[in-house]
Amino acid sequence: MMNGSCLCGTVKYELNADISQILLCHCSRCRKATGSAFAALTLVRTEDFKFLAGEHTVKHFDSAPGVGRYFCQDCGSPLFTKRENAPELLRLRIGTLDTKLPATPIAHVFVASKAEWFEICDANPQYAERP
Ligand SMILES: [Zn+2]
Ligand SMILES: [Zn+2]
């Protein structure tokens, strides 16, 4: 069991799953949503994710039709994205985890739209869009 929370601590969640891969998404929407070079995320099953507190402060913004980005409306922490056509999966923003993660394989996705000022300096696989 893993636990996570937003920056202000209002939202708390638990995750009953092992994280098998971390995706670093360099798409322009993730850059806007994080204010950084990429978003660090992993795919989890919606049924494995449970809010422990603060669900009422979670809002979402659709960055594309049917793609909801869920965040804490008090502090702005991005929590996950959920797609209308695949509501059984969440793309969890793993920077919100409080539990330490074991070393986990990484892949870079949407590298075709990565920030020109950021250089990928590791040997992990890179995909122009999705793998
Ligand atoms: Zn918050
Ligand atoms: Zn992205």
pLDDT tens-digit readout, 75-96:
999 999 999 999 999 999 999 9
In the predicted model, what is the mean pLDDT of residues 114-122?
Answer: 97
For residues 22 and 43, give the distance between their C-alpha atoms in angstroms, rounded to a whole number.
8
Strand 22-25 and strand 106-109: the pairing is parallel
CATH number of 3-113: 2.170.150.70
- 38 CA distance to ligand 1 middle (Å): 20
Query: Where along the chain do its domains lie?
Result: 3-113
Helix (H, G, I), strand (E, B), or coil: what is residue 81? strand
- 25 CA distance to ligand 2 middle (Å): 4
In 6-53, where do the E strands start and end? 12-15, 22-25, 39-45, 49-53
Strand 58-64 and strand 106-109: the pairing is unpaired
- 129 CA distance to ligand 1 middle (Å): 30
- 61 CA distance to ligand 2 middle (Å): 14
The pLDDT value recorded for residue 102 is: 86
19-57 pLDDT tens trace: 989 999 999 999 999 999 999 999 999 999 999 999 999
Q: Residue 35, CB half-sphere, CA atoms under 13 Å: how many?
A: 3
Judged by its nearest atom, the ligand closest to the C-alpha of residue 58 is: 1
